[in-house]
Amino acid sequence: MDTELFPRERAQIAPGAVHLPDWLDGDRQRELLRACREWARPPAGLRTVRTPGGGVMTARQVCLGWHWYPYAYARTVADGDGTPVKPFPAWLGDLGRRAVSDALGPAQAADAAYDIALINFYEGDARMGMHRDADERSTAPVVSLSLGDACVFRFGNPRTRARPYTDVELRSGDLFVFGGASRLAYHGVPRVLPGTAPAGLGLTGRLNVTLRVSGFPDAA
């Protein structure tokens, strides 16, 4: 994949939305992949998500900290096996704050107490429609880490699913952070590019790890 003449550069895609290519090196990608494989195991493992309107998401998902299901959060896998959601590890919160600091500056990261991870697994022709991450109470930036196959990530605006949007290619190890004026921007994954994962990673398909701050009281 890395055959460009010039290295890919960090880019601001919209106000508060930054793409940092190759943020995770090969070792870090392998570590995160190992963790994803553990998180994906039952109980409270990888599941198919169904929407209230009868739709089925083609990317399968597992959550940490709080379990997201359309369109709320719970402490148990309310739309699956009913077991408690897996804990959100402290190291993942540290990784999230480091990501925000590198993307948006240390002031944005200082109070960001990440407590939710959504791990999406794309295989075959899985994709994700344009949507907003709007079920959290916190306005802290969303952190997105990609592993495996590259994808087209469509990043839009907070008003409409339609244009204007920008298509960004996210590759294994890339970081994308969106906060501030872009925190509630519509975004989605119209296409995964099969067979583009780094040879040494050992993953067929694409994993995306999205970190969010709930802003919920602990006992909620």
Ligand X SMILES: O=C(O)CCC(=O)C(=O)O
Under the binding rule (CB under 6 A), the answer on residue 144 touching ligand X is: yes
Under the binding rule (CB under 6 A), the answer on residue 64 touching ligand X is: no
Can you tell me which of 14, 99, 116, 128 binds ligand X, judged by CB under 6 A? 128
- Pick between residue 128 and residue 203 the one whose CB is nearest to ligand X: 128
Which has the closest alpha carbon to 46: 120, 97, 99, 113?
120
SS3 109: helix
Contact between residue 192 and residue 122 where contact means Cβ atoms under 8 Å apart: yes
> What span, in angstroms and rounded, lies between the C-alpha atoms of 211 and 203?
21
What binding mask, one character per residue, do residues 159-198 give for ligand X by CB under 6 A, x or -? ----------------------------x-x---------
Q: What token pair was written down for 22?
A: 């190759």
> What span, in angstroms and rounded, lies between the C-alpha atoms of 206 and 195?
10
| Amino acid at position 19, single letter | H
The sign of the CA dihedral 2, 5, 10, 11 is: negative
| Total residues in contact with ligand X, by rule CB under 6 A | 10
CB atoms under 10 Å from CB of 43, counted, come to 12
At closest approach, how far in Å is the CB of 199 from ligand X? 22
At closest approach, how far in Å is the CB of 188 from ligand X? 6
At closest approach, how far in Å is the CB of 5 from ligand X? 27
- DSSP-derived secondary structure for 55-67: -B-SSEEEEESSE
Under the binding rule (CB under 6 A), the answer on residue 118 touching ligand X is: yes
- Pick between residue 172 and residue 219 the one whose CB is nearest to ligand X: 172
Under the binding rule (CB under 6 A), the answer on residue 17 touching ligand X is: no
Residue nearest to ligand X (CB): 208
Phi, psi angle pair for 201, to nearest 5°: -80, -40
- Pick between residue 144 and residue 214 the one whose CB is nearest to ligand X: 144
**Residues of this chain that bind ligand X (CB under 6 A):** 118, 120, 128, 133, 144, 153, 187, 189, 208, 210
